[in-house]
C-alpha cells in the first residue's frame, strides 16, 4: 500500500549524516533553524561506521598485539605464547562504533533534529523526494539544503570488488587475519591498513603507482614510515601498476607491472585503496542546475554555496582533501552562512594526519609550498631523539619541522613525524590560526617531560636559541 505523499516543510534539509552532515545539522539547530537530516544507511556516515573510527581501533589492536608479541627486549620484558582472538577484536571495534553512532543520534535528537532514513532525490531546487522503502516516499520542501553525501571507494579496471578483492570497508570487516595481503595504493588508507595487518601478523605487499608512498607528505616523512614498515616485513613495490587479479575460493593472484616488468603476487585478499569518488551521481543535481566539475565535485563559493544559492555542499563532495574534520568545519560554516552570518572557509589551519608508524601530521604550508607562494621562510627542525619523553616511550624516530616567515617569525606551517604527531599538530594549528610567532611558542612553558616540549624546542631552533641540540 502506497502512503500519500504530503510535502513537509523545513527550514534546512541536510542529506547525509557523516561528520559533515550531523555537525551542520546540530549547528543549524543551535541557530534556530528547523532541521531535517536524511541518511540512507547508518547515522555517522563512513567515518564513524566504516572509516576513521573502526580503522583506528584496528590500528590500536595491531599496535598492542605487536608490542606484546615482539616483547620489549630493550626494557627486559618478554612474553610467551602470545595469541589473538580476532573475533573479539572485531566485537570490541563494533562496540566503539555502536557507542559513537548512538551518541551522534542522541545529539541530533537532543537538538530537535528530525532524522529520516531513506534515499534523497531532488525534485526541484526547493524540494527533495525521500524514498523510505520500495513503496513509500516523502517530499520535503526546504528553504535551504546542505548536501553532505560523502564518497565511495574507487574501483579499478579488472579488480571488481568481491569477497577477495576488497575495499577499505571490507578490510575492516574481515573475519580472520589474512596470512598474506596485497595492498594496491600507497596513500594514507592503504598505508594505515597495511601497518595494522602487518602488526597483526600478515605478510603484506604494497603496490604503489608513484615513485614513493604517501605523496601528500614530505619525502623524508614518508621514508620514515616505509623504513619502519619494512622492519615489520612489509614489501614495497613503487612505480607499480596492478593489471589484473585471478580469484579462487581461498585467495587471489595479483598481476602487476613493476618498473616495466611483470610480477605476480599470491595472497588471501587484495585491498584496493586508490582513492574515493564523490556520491553526487544519483541525487538529481544536474537536473536542477547545480554545477559540478569533471570529477563530480560540486562547485561552491567560500560559504559552501553552490550555483543554486539555497543549496550548499560540504565535505568530500567539494574540492579539497577528503578529511572528516574538514567536513565538520565546513558544516559549521554552511549552517552559519544559512543563518546570515559572514562565516566563510579558510583552510590554512586544517591539519592532515596519517596514523602510520610513526604517525605523520602536517598543517599550513610546507617549506616548498611556502616558497612557491612567494614567502621567504625559515625551516627549523628538532629531532624526537633529543626529547626525554620520546626516549622513555622507546619510540624516538622522527622530527618536527616549523615553517616561519623570515621577516617576523610568524608561524605559517608545521610538519611532524613521530609518536602522537596527530595530537601534537593541534598546537601548531592554533599558532597559525592565532597569528602567533615562534617566540610566542618558545615563551610558552611546556610541561616536562612531554612530547609537547618538542614544539617549544623547534620554535627555539627557529629563533636561533636551541637548548637541547647544538646549532
- Binding residue ranges for FAD: 56, 316
Residue 134 banded pLDDT, cuts 50, 70, 90: confident
| Same structural domain, 337 and 414 | no
pLDDT of residue 79: 87
Instruction: Tell me, yes or no, whether 469 lies in a domain.
Output: no
pLDDT of residue 3: 53
Instruction: Tell me, yes or no, whether 318 lies in a domain.
Output: yes
| Same structural domain, 434 and 371 | yes
> Helices 86-110 and 21-30: crossing angle, nearest 10°?
30
| CB burial of residue 411 (10 Å; 0-12, 13-18, 19+) | buried
pLDDT of residue 243: 98
Mean per-residue pLDDT, 326-343 = 98
Instruction: Tell me, yes or no, whether 352 lies in a domain.
Output: no
| Same structural domain, 146 and 281 | yes
Give pairs for 342-349: CB < 8 Å, separation 24+. 343/303, 344/302, 344/303, 345/302, 345/303, 345/304, 347/320, 348/412, 348/432, 348/433, 349/429, 349/430, 349/432, 349/433
Higher pLDDT, 31 or 76: 31
Dihedral sign, CA of 294, 295, 300, 305? positive
Structural domains of the chain, count: 3
| Same structural domain, 142 and 290 | yes
| Same structural domain, 131 and 182 | no
Residue 62 is placed in which grid cell? 595491531
Instruction: Tell me, yes or no, whether 234 lies in a domain.
Output: yes
Instruction: Tell me, yes or no, whether 143 lies in a domain.
Output: yes
Place of cell 601497518: 195
Of 347, 376, 392, the domain-final residue: 347
| Same structural domain, 145 and 282 | yes
pLDDT of residue 456: 98
| Listed residue (197, 198, 191) closest to 171, CA to CA | 197
Whichever domain contains 422, its CATH number is: 3.30.390.30
Q: Which residues are catalytic?
A: 448
* Number of neighbours of residue 451 by Cβ within 10 angstroms: 23
pLDDT of residue 1: 39
Angle CA(93)–CA(99)–CA(102) in degrees, nearest 5? 135
Of 231, 246, 274, the domain-final residue: 274
Residue 437 is placed in which grid cell? 610567532
Please say whether the beta carbons of 438 and 411 come within 8 A: yes
Instruction: Tell me, yes or no, whether 183 lies in a domain.
Output: yes
* Number of neighbours of residue 339 by Cβ within 10 angstroms: 17
Whichever domain contains 307, its CATH number is: 3.50.50.60
pLDDT of residue 471: 79
Look at residue 341 and tell me whether its pLDDT is greater than 90: yes
| pLDDT tens readout for residues 40-79 | 999 999 999 999 999 999 999 999 999 998 876 778 888 8
Please say whether the beta carbons of 307 and 289 come within 8 A: yes
Look at residue 10 and tell me whether its pLDDT is greater than 50: yes
Query: What is the rounded CA–CA span in Å between residue 45 and residue 54?
Result: 12
Please say whether the beta carbons of 21 and 15 come within 8 A: yes
| Listed residue (406, 409, 377, 399) closest to 455, CA to CA | 399
pLDDT of residue 138: 95
Q: Is 462 left (phi over 0), alpha (psi -120 to 50) or beta?
A: alpha
Of 320, 347, 374, the domain-final residue: 347
| pLDDT tens readout for residues 150-170 | 999 999 999 999 999 999 999
| Same structural domain, 78 and 54 | yes
| Same structural domain, 281 and 270 | no
Please say whether the beta carbons of 276 and 316 come within 8 A: yes
User: 380-392 burial, b if ≥16 CB within 10 A, otherwise e?
Assistant: bebbbebbebbee
Domain, as residue range, for 143: 8-152+277-347
Residues 6+ apart with CB under 8 A from 91: none
**Coil, strand or helix at 40:** coil
pLDDT of residue 4: 56
- Name the maximum alpha-carbon separation found in the chain: 79
Residue 93 banded pLDDT, cuts 50, 70, 90: very high
Instruction: Tell me, yes or no, whether 159 lies in a domain.
Output: no
Please say whether the beta carbons of 37 and 11 come within 8 A: no
| Same structural domain, 32 and 99 | yes
Residues 6+ apart with CB under 8 A from 459: 380, 402, 438, 439, 441, 442
| Same structural domain, 281 and 146 | yes
User: 137-153 burial, b if ≥16 CB within 10 A, otherwise e?
Assistant: bbebebebbbbbbbbeb
| pLDDT tens readout for residues 372-386 | 999 999 999 999 999
Mean per-residue pLDDT, 380-404 = 97
| Same structural domain, 40 and 125 | yes
| pLDDT tens readout for residues 194-238 | 999 999 999 999 999 999 999 999 999 999 999 999 999 999 999
| Same structural domain, 294 and 262 | no
Residues 6+ apart with CB under 8 A from 274: 154, 156, 184, 185, 187, 209
Q: Is 169 left (phi over 0), alpha (psi -120 to 50) or beta?
A: alpha
Residue 396 banded pLDDT, cuts 50, 70, 90: very high
Query: What is the residue-averaged pLDDT of the chain?
Result: 96
Query: What is the rounded CA–CA span in Å between residue 11 and residue 181?
Result: 49
Instruction: Tell me, yes or no, whether 267 lies in a domain.
Output: yes
Quick one: what percent of the chain has pLDDT higher than 70?
Answer: 99
- Binding residue ranges for NAD(+): 185-192, 208, 275
- Its pTM stands at 0.95
- Binding residue ranges: 56, 185-192, 208, 275, 316
Amino acid at each position: 500500500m502506497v502512503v500519500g505523499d504530503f510535502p513537509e516543510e523545513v527550514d534546512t534539509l541536510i542529506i547525509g549524516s557523516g561528520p559533515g552532515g550531523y555537525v551542520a545539522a546540530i549547528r543549524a539547530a543551535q541557530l534556530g533553524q528547523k532541521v531535517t537530516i536524511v541518511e540512507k544507511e547508518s547515522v555517522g556516515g563512513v567515518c564513524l561506521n566504516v572509516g576513521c573510527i573502526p580503522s583506528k581501533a584496528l590500528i590500536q589492536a595491531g599496535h598492542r598485539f605487536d608490542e606484546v608479541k615482539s616483547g620489549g627486549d630493550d626494557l627486559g620484558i618478554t612474553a610467551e605464547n602470545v595469541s589473538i582472538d580476532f573475533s573479539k577484536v572485531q566485537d570490541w571495534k563494533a562496540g566503539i562504533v555502536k557507542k559513537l553512532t548512538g551518541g551522534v543520534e542522541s545529539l541530533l535528537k537532543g537538538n530537535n533534529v528530525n532524522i529520516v532514513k531513506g534515499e534523497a532525490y531532488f525534485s526541484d531546487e526547493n524540494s527533495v523526494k525521500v524514498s523510505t522503502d520500495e513503496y513509500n516516499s516523502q517530499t520535503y520542501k526546504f528553504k535551504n539544503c546542505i548536501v553532505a553525501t560523502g564518497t565511495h571507494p574507487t574501483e579499478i579496471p579488472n579488480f571488481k570488488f568481491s569477497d577477495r578483492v576488497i575495499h577499505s570497508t571490507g578490510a575492516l570487516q574481515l573475519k580472520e587475519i589474512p596470512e598474506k595481503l596485497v595492498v594496491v595504493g600507497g596513500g594514507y588508507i592503504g598505508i594505515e591498513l597495511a601497518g595494522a595487518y602487518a602488526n597483526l601478523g600478515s605478510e603484506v605487499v604494497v603496490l604503489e603507482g608513484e615513485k614513493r608512498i604517501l605523496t601528500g607528505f614530505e619525502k623524508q616523512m614518508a621514508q620514515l614510515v616505509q623504513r619502519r614498515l619494512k622492519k615489520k616485513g612489509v614489501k614495497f613495490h613503487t612505480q607499480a601498476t596492478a593489471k589484473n587479479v585471478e580469484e579462487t575460493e581461498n585467495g587471489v593472484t595479483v598481476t602487476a607491472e613493476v618498473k616495466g616488468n611483470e610480477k605476480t603476487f599470491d595472497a588471501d585478499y587484495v585491498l584496493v585503496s586508490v582513492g574515493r569518488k564523490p556520491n553526487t551521481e544519483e541525487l538529481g543535481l544536474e537536473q536542477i542546475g547545480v554545477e559540478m566539475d569533471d570529477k563530480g565535485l560540486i562547485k561552491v563559493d567560500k560559504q559552501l554555496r553552490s550555483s543554486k544559492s539555497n543549496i550548499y555542499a560540504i565535505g568530500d563532495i567539494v574540492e579539497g582533501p577528503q578529511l572528516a574534520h574538514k567536513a565538520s568545519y565546513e558544516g559549521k560554516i554552511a549552517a552559519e552562512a544559512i543563518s546570515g552570518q559572514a562565516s566563510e572557509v579558510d583552510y590554512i589551519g586544517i591539519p592532515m594526519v596519517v596514523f602510520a608508524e610513526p604517525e605523520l601530521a602536517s598543517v599550513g604550508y610546507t617549506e616548498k609550498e611556502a616558497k612557491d607562494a612567494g614567502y621567504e621562510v625559515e625551516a627549523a627542525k628538532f629531532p624526537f631523539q633529543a626529547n626525554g619523553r620520546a626516549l622513555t616511550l622507546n619510540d624516538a624516530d622522527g622530527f618536527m619541522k616549523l615553517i616561519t616567515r623570515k621577516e617576523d617569525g610568524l608561524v605559517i606551517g608545521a610538519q611532524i613525524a613521530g609518536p602522537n604527531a596527530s595530537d601534537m599538530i593541534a598546537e601548531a594549528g592554533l599558532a597559525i590560526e592565532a597569528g602567533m610567532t615562534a617566540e610566542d611558542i618558545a615563551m610558552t612553558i611546556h610541561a616536562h617531560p612531554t612530547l609537547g616540549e618538542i614544539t617549544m624546542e623547534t620554535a627555539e631552533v627557529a629563533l636561533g636559541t636551541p637548548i637541547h641540540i647544538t646549532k
